[in-house]
Amino acid sequence: MSLFIMIGSGFGVLAALAAFVITYEEWSHHYAQGTEPFKHALKVAVVTFTVFIILSILAGLYFGQRI
């Protein structure tokens, strides 16, 4: 299962970074001032990373039982 967590962490970081950049770029068009774009982009990045970690743990549990 630790292999799945390592793979999920690696892809989770990449996905969170991509989600942060995309969300920040979009929100900066709507809120040109203040820290609103950064806050929203950070929330999306955290959720994205969390989803990738949870999915990798579930995949590790599922395939760990199957092998």
pLDDT of 6 reads 85
Contact indicator for 15, 53 with CB cutoff of 8 Å: no
DSSP 34: S
Element (H, E) at 54: helix 36-66
**Tokens read off for 33:** 């001032």
pLDDT tens figures, 1-52: 578 788 888 899 999 999 999 999 999 888 777 788 999 999 999 999 999 9
pLDDT at 67 over 60: no
- pTM of this structure: 0.82
> How far is 26 from 30, CA to CA, in rounded Å?
7
